[in-house]
């Protein structure tokens, strides 16, 4: 698939920069090891790819796009560490989670450490102070919204699709939005382009999360890198679950549910139309988001961004 190759090409650049990231002297070795552990554990690097593609489409790119691209990926990593602690997820990307390997206290510190490192990336020598300030504001507001979204998610108070969409925008959408906006800012785009590319990211990021919720049900545990159907066991109010509840279908499973129980419940959710409903809502968000790409000039990078948006809701893992 061409778009996967394009993302992988940019991921190689990001991976190389993350490998070479300076964490300071020999003190706090355990903290530095834990930070490197997740940063270099792989991942698709979708968010930094958006930063780089947007910048390239606006004839920026190169070194100008790398600091914000790294900032976005490091921010993503810090949120994963904290998410795993709160959800008590033992596995991340097929390996023990940071809090499992190093303990909860070190994992919390590692997340905080990466949060700080993300902001350091924007304070680079590439961009002038005025541009740095604008990028810092985007990143700070994004981190605030992510924390608010996570708080809403763990509160268990989501009972409607509207509430779910607000939560998923804050928890997931805004970081994709930041990727679009930061790519535009790094290329000196005007305010309209920054806003439209932020909107592109938010909409496609929401679609990404909805599709992730679907994959939790339709992909094997081995491919997911975690237990299939974990959202149903944990009682998470995903779009699939909310649609099922509206149609008098209980979407949840007991804590000791077997693989056969998961299979039966997924079949029930397929039959009720709840999984297909979530897929359709994700596709609608992507189509809406792609319209925001009209602000970009016609170029190969614009086409790749549209293909990437489609990929977010068609990927199988």
Asked if 224 and 89 touch (Cβ cutoff 8 Å), the reply is: no
Going by C-beta distance under 8 Å and a sequence separation of 6 or more, which residues neighbour residue 41?
Answer: 92, 93, 95
CA–CA separation, 157 and 23 (whole Å): 39
Give the pLDDT of residue 88.
85
- Quick one: which of 90, 89, 77, 85 has its CA closest to 105? 85
Q: What is the pTM of this model?
A: 0.95
pLDDT at residue 62, as a whole number: 78
Q: For residue 217, give both structure tokens.
A: 């049900």
- Residue 23 corresponds to which tokens in the numbers above? 């964490």
pLDDT for the residue 61: 75
From CA 7, how far away is CA 53, in angstroms rounded?
9
Q: What CATH number was assigned to the domain covering residues 2-312?
A: 1.10.600.10
- Tokens linked to 250: 């209980």
Position 317 confidence tier, pLDDT thresholds 50, 70, 90: confident
The β-bridge partners of 92 are 95
Q: Which two tokens stand for residue 145?
A: 């919204």
Confidence band, pLDDT 50/70/90 cuts, at residue 27? confident
Burial of 27 per CB tally in 10 Å (0-12, 13-18, 19+): exposed
pLDDT of residue 269: 97
Q: Which residue from 140, 112, 146 is spatially nearest to 34, judged by alpha carbons?
A: 112
pLDDT tens track for 286-315: 999 999 999 999 999 999 999 999 999 999
Band of residue 1 on the pLDDT scale cut at 50, 70, 90: low
Phi and psi, residue 304, nearest 5°: -65, -40
| pLDDT range class, residue 225, cuts 50, 70, 90 | low
Q: Encoding tokens for residue 168?
A: 């998923």
Q: What is the DSSP letter of 96?
A: E
Q: Is the pLDDT of residue 221 over 90?
A: no
E strand segments, the chain: 91-92, 95-96
Name the strand (E) or helix (H) holding 246: helix 239-246
**Domain residues of the chain, as ranges?**
2-312
Phi-psi region of 238 (alpha: psi -120 to 50; beta: other; left: phi over 0): beta
Report the half-sphere exposure of 205 (CA within 13 A, side-chain side): 28
Predicted local confidence at residue 285, as pLDDT: 98
At 25 the pLDDT is: 63
How far is Cα 245 from Cα 123, in angstroms, rounded to an integer? 47
């Amino acid at each position: 698939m061409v778009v996967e190759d394009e993302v992988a090409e940019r991921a190689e650049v990001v991976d190389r920069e993350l490998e070479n990231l300076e964490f300071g002297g020999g003190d706090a070795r355990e903290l530095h090891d834990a930070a490197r552990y997740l940063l270099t554990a792989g991942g698709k690097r979708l968010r930094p790819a958006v930063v780089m593609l947007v910048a390239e489409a606006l004839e920026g790119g190169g070194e100008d796009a790398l600091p914000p691209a790294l900032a976005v990926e490091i921010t993503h990593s810090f949120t994963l560490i904290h998410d795993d602690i709160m959800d008590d997820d033992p596995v991340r990307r097929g390996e023990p989670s940071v809090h499992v390997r190093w303990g909860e206290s070190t994992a919390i510190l590692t997340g905080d450490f990466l949060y700080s490192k993300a902001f350091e990336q924007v304070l680079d020598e590439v961009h002038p102070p005025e541009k740095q300030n604008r990028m810092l504001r985007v990143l700070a507001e994004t981190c605030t919204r992510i924390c608010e979204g996570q708080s809403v998610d763990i509160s268990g108070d989501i009972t409607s699709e509207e509430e779910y969409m607000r939560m998923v925008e804050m928890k997931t959408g805004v970081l994709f939005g930041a990727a679009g906006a930061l790519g535009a800012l790094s290329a000196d785009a005007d305010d309209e382009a920054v806003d439209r590319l932020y909107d592109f990211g938010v909409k496609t990021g929401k679609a990404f999360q909805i599709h992730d919720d679907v994959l939790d049900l339709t992909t094997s545990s081995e491919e997911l890198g975690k237990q299939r159907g974990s959202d149903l066991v944990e009682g998470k109010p995903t779009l699939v679950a909310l649609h099922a509840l509206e149609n008098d279908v209980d979407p949840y499973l007991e804590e000791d549910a077997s693989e056969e129980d998961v299979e039966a419940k997924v079949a029930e959710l397929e039959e009720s139309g709840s999984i297909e409903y979530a897929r359709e809502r994700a596709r609608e968000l992507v189509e809406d988001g792609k319209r925001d790409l009209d602000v970009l000039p016609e170029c190969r990078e614009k086409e790749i961004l549209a293909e990437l948006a489609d990929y977010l809701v068609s990927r199988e893992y």
